[in-house]
Structures are given as C-alpha cells and as structure tokens.
Amino acid sequence: MDTGRRAVYDSLGEEGLRTSWEVGPRNKSPEELRRHFQREAYEKRILQAESLVKSKGDVSIALDARAVFLDRSVFDKPELVKHDLVSRIRRVRPGRITMQHSFEVPLNKKTQMVWSGQMASKGGRGGGNVLGTIKHQYSPKVWAELGSSFLNPRIVTGKAGYIMDENTCVTLVK
C-alpha cells in the first residue's frame, strides 16, 4: 500500500479507501497527506449536511420614487421646494420592505418539514410570522400538506393534490 493510501486508511478507515480522492503533489509527508484527506472528508460531510437542508431567502425593497418625477405644479408652494436633480433624488423613500427565509428538512423519503419566517413593513408599520408545514408525497400522483403559523394571527392550512397527467391536476385547499 502506498503512503497516500496508508494515510487515508489511518485517518478514515476502509470508507476512506472506497472514496475517490483528488490527491495533491506526491511529495507530501504522510502527516500532510493525512491532514489533506481529513480536510477533504470534513468538506464532503459539510456539503452532504447542507444538501439535506434546503435553505432559501429573499429580501425585497420597493422604493417610492414618484417624487423624482413630480411636476412643480403638484406642490402647494413650488417656490419653497428645490427641484434640482439631487433634491429630487433625496425625496425617494422606502415604500415596502419584505423578508422571507425558509428551510426544508427531509424527515424521510416521502415527508419534508418546512420552516419559514416572513416579515413585511410599509410606512413604518409591519409584522411577521413563523410558519411550519409538513409535506407528504403519498405516491407520484398524490400529495398533501398541513401548515400552521405560530404567531398571531394563528392560521392552520391544509392542501392536497392529485396529478392526473402532465397537463391536469386537482388541488384542494382548506
């Protein structure tokens, strides 16, 4: 057994030998190879863990830029309002801000748990909620999900679907 394979076996056992490794230069010492393979194994475990949890997020900011384009005649006292480009741009204000983040974790091959958080703000007022949903795929054509919010207002939802063919499906929502 060569030095590289021995370092893999000493660090990771037989599982390490069954894995395809990209080996660096052959002039590394057994300890350097061992550290290299341990780092590779760690990165592989991290990627596997991340693939189990599907995380996604979204931030949306809508700007109210109407004031940039308003005609002078719209203002009550147009002579008191500056109308140069910089002054117009300074009148831009946030209109609406929303943030959402969710992650999906498989419970088994047919069932997933989805957690999501949402918040929205407009005009200095806003709110948010946390939602939990369990999705189950009974067959390739039949699925169902049950969800609930956890903050006020508390809402419970249920959905089920049947896929008849590639162009037709039926969804029930309660």
How many domains does the chain divide into?
2
pLDDT digits (tens, 9 = 90+) for 123-167: 878 999 999 999 999 999 999 999 999 998 889 999 999 999 989
pLDDT the model gives residue 137 = 96
Same domain, 94 and 160: yes
Mark which of 51, 67, 89 sits at the end of a domain. 51
Same domain, 151 and 69: yes
Same domain, 58 and 98: yes
pLDDT the model gives residue 26 = 58
Same domain, 18 and 92: no
DSSP 42-77: HHHHHHHHHHHSEEEEEEEEEEE-HHHH--GGGSSS
Q: Is the pLDDT of residue 81 over 90?
A: no
Same domain, 66 and 144: yes
Strands 125-137 and 142-149: antiparallel
Same domain, 100 and 144: yes
Same domain, 127 and 44: no
Name the most confidently modeled range: 38-52, 73-87, 104-118: 104-118
Domain coverage including residue 155: 53-173
Strands 125-137 and 111-122: antiparallel
Same domain, 109 and 136: yes
Determine if the pTM surpasses 0.75: no
Q: Is the pLDDT of residue 59 over 90?
A: yes
> H or E element: which one contains 18?
helix 3-18
pLDDT the model gives residue 142 = 96
Same domain, 92 and 150: yes
Same domain, 77 and 154: yes
pLDDT the model gives residue 100 = 94
